[in-house]
């Protein structure tokens, strides 16, 4: 909901669901049933799991090319150091209130990528960051969730 006040001020209130609660079994396909329970991400949104300095650096380097990468990577690292808590940069897989409460899709990734010389990169390209992540850079919660999906679909 949002209101435009007579003073010209704007007030907006919204709710962003971060999970799903099934109250009864849900059959997604013949013989494939999702059990009742709560299904939630601990971080604000799935894009928050892309916040890994090394993965972002690889994405920037691949996007701008190795020959031009040095300046772009320096700008990315400077932006991260100036705008992210040191604990997030030291341990991007840790449980950080900053990543649990901040919308990466609009508040974290666009400014970081803009600083690295990639302004206006559409969020529909964020899967390219994930594709460059090394197995040890993927958050355990993501691995756990993907493994559960594979088990549910008997893959």
Task: State how far the alpha carbon of 55 is from the alpha carbons of 43, 59, 91, in Å.
Answer: 18, 6, 13
Percent of the chain with pLDDT over 90: 62
Task: Give 33's contacts (C-beta < 8 A, 6+ positions apart).
Answer: 25, 26, 27, 152
- What backbone torsions phi and psi does residue 41 show, to the nearest 5 degrees? -90, 145
Helix (H, G, I), strand (E, B) or coil at 27: strand
Minimum mean pLDDT among 3-17, 95-109, 111-125: which range? 3-17
| Full-model pTM | 0.78
Question: What average pLDDT does range 72-86 have in this prediction?
Answer: 98
Tell how strand 19-22 and strand 10-12 pair up.
Answer: unpaired
Domain boundaries, the chain: 46-146
pLDDT, tens only, 10-35: 666 554 555 677 888 888 777 778 78
Q: What is the pLDDT of residue 153?
A: 80
Nearest to 53 by CA among 16, 21, 80: 80
């Amino acid at each position: 909901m949002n209101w435009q006040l007579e003073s010209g001020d704007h007030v907006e209130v919204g709710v962003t669901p971060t999970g799903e609660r099934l109250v009864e079994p849900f059959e997604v396909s013949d013989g494939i049933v999702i059990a009742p329970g709560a299904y939630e991400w601990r971080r604000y949104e799935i894009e928050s799991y892309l916040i890994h300095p090394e993965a972002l650096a690889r994405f920037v380097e691949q996007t701008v090319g190795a020959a031009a990468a040095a300046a772009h990577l320096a700008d990315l690292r400077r932006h991260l150091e100036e705008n992210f808590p040191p604990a997030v940069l030291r341990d991007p897989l840790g449980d950080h209130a900053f990543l649990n409460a901040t919308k990466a899709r609009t508040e974290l990734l666009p400014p970081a990528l803009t600083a690295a010389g990639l302004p206006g990169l559409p969020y529909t390209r964020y899967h390219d960051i994930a594709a460059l992540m090394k197995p040890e850079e993927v958050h355990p919660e993501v691995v756990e969730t993907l493994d559960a999906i594979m088990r549910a679909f008997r893959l």
